[in-house]
Amino acid sequence: MSQSVVKSSNKNLYILHATVFIWGFTGILGALISIDAVQMVWYRVLIATASLFLYFIFTKTSLKITKKQFLQYFFTGSIVALHWVLFFHAIKVSTVSVTLVCLSSFTLFTAILEPLIKKQAVEKADVFIGMVIILGIYLIFKFESQYTLGIIFGLSAALASSLFSIINSTLIQKSEAKIIGFYEMAGAFFWVTLYRLFDQSLVTETFNLSLTDWFYLFILGTVCTALAYVAGVSVMRTLSAFRVALITNLEPVYGIILAFLFFGKQEAMTFGFYIGAVLILGSVFLYPVYKKHKLKQI
C-alpha cells in the first residue's frame, strides 16, 4: 500500500469520526430546538435538500435518474421522514440518552427484517445477539418506566431506520448514495409537507421562530444532515465497510456523552438503565466483528 493511500485512508478515518460525532450531536439539537418534532423535521429536510441542491450545482453533478428510480427514492423518503419524526418526538417526551440507546436496536431489527425481505435464512448468531438486545431493552423499560412513551418512539424510530437502510442497500447498487440521499430528502420534505397541509399546521406557519431556533435548525439541516451525509459517503472510497460500520456504532456513545455535557443531571439515569445500555451497545459493537470473522471463514 502506497504512502499516499495510507494518508488518504487516515484522513478519511478522521473525517468519519467527525461525521459520526456530528450525527451524535443531532440528538442534542433535537432537545435544544423548541418547536415540535414534525415542524422540526420539515425545516430540517427543507434546509438539507436546498443545501444539497446547491452542492450539486457547485460540483456540476447530474441529478438525472430514471422514472422508476425517482419513485423508489421518493417513496423511501416517506420512511426517512417517519424515522426522523419518531426520533425527535422520542427526545421531546424522554431524554437524548434514552432515545439514542433505543435507536441502537437498529441492529436487532435489521437482523430480523433483512432475511425476511431478501428471503434469506435467519442465522442463529443473529438471533442470539437479538435476544441480548431485547434483554437490554427490557431492563431500560423496567428501570426507566417514566420514559415508556419515549422508549416506544425510540424503538419505532429504529425500526423505520432499519427499513429504509435495507431498501437503500438494494438501491445503492444502481446509483450513487448522494443522489439517492438528495431525492429521499426531497421526498421526505414532500411527505412531511403533505402531512402538515392535512393537519393544517402549515397553513398557520408564520416562520416566526427565535433566532436561537433558526441557528440550531440551520446547523441541523446543513452540518448535521447535508454536509455529514456527503462526508459519510465520501470516506467509503478508502475505508472498508466493516470499519465504517464499527465507527458508526459510536454515534449513541458520542451522543450520550454530549447529552451529559449539555444537560447534566437531566440525563442521569438509574443503574439498571446503564446495564441495559451496555448490553445493547456491546451487542451492536460485537455484531460487525462477528460478521467479519465469519466472512473470513467462508
Rounded distance between C-alpha atoms, residue 281 and residue 209, angstroms: 37
Predicted confidence at residue 238, as pLDDT, reads 67
Helix axes 96-103, 124-143, angle to 10 degrees: 160
| Alpha-carbon dihedral angle through residues 77, 222, 166, 41, given to the nearest 10 degrees | -50
Task: Give the helix/strand (H/E) hosting 22.
Answer: helix 3-32
The model carries a pTM of: 0.85
Q: How many of the other CB atoms lie within 10 Å of CB of 286?
A: 15
For 56-89, give the DSSP string. HHHTT------HHHHHHHHHHHHHHHHHHHHHHH
Greatest CA span in the chain, whole angstroms? 60
- Secondary structure of the chain: what % helix, strand, coil (to 5)? 85, 0, 15
Ordered per-residue pLDDT tens for the chain, 298 residues: 456 655 666 787 888 888 888 988 999 999 999 999 999 999 999 999 999 999 899 989 889 899 999 999 999 999 999 999 999 999 999 988 889 888 888 877 877 787 777 777 767 777 777 788 888 888 888 878 888 899 899 999 989 988 888 887 788 777 787 888 899 999 999 999 999 999 999 988 888 999 999 999 999 999 998 888 777 766 766 666 556 666 777 788 888 888 888 888 777 777 788 888 888 888 777 777 776 666 666 5
Are 42 and 193 in contact by the 8 Å Cβ rule? The answer is yes
Three-class secondary structure of residue 252 per DSSP: helix
What burial class does residue 262 get, using C-beta atoms within 10 Å of its C-beta: 0-12 exposed, 13-18 middle, 19+ buried?
Answer: middle
**Residue spans per domain, the chain:** 3-297
